[in-house]
């Protein structure tokens, strides 16, 4: 595949699109740092777990709100547990074609 590029003076140059690569010169490859890699992988794992848990938390909160509405409650008390539903609700309107 080729792309035409036009310079400021109006000349057109055709260039071949090559995949972007970043290489290293022989002997100048970065050295491996196992401690850094281990910490980065640990962070990646924890982030993935947090995102998964956040989704479950949101689903559970939605279910709790629905249950409170179904029971006609805005506040619920039991022992030291207090559940309150605020009045903020969101709604989106979309068409099947993706237009809002």
pLDDT in tens, 12-42: 666 666 666 667 777 777 778 889 899 999 9
Residue with tokens 């689903």: 59
- Rounded to the nearest 10 degrees, how much is the dihedral formed by the CA atoms of 36, 39, 40, 41? 120
Which of the pair, 85 or 1, is modelled with greater confidence? 85
- Contact, 14 vs 7, CB < 8 A? no
Strands 2-6 and 81-84: unpaired
Domain boundaries, the chain: 32-86
Give the pLDDT confidence score for residue 24 in this predicted structure: 73
Residue with tokens 């956040």: 54
Q: How far apart are CA 64 and CA 84, in angstroms?
A: 10
Give the pLDDT confidence score for residue 91 in this predicted structure: 45
pLDDT for 59-99, tens place per residue? 888 888 899 889 998 889 888 888 888 877 654 546 676 55
């Amino acid at each position: 595949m080729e792309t035409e590029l036009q310079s400021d003076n109006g000349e057109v140059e055709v260039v071949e699109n090559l995949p972007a690569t970043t290489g290293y010169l022989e002997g100048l490859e970065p050295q491996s740092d196992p401690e850094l890699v281990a910490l980065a992988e640990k962070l990646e794992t924890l982030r993935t777990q947090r995102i998964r848990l956040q989704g479950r938390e949101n689903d559970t909160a939605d279910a709790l709100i629905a249950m409170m509405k179904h029971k006609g409650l805005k506040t619920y008390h039991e022992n030291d547990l207090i559940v309150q539903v605020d009045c903020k609700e969101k709604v989106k309107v979309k068409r099947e074609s993706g237009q809002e």
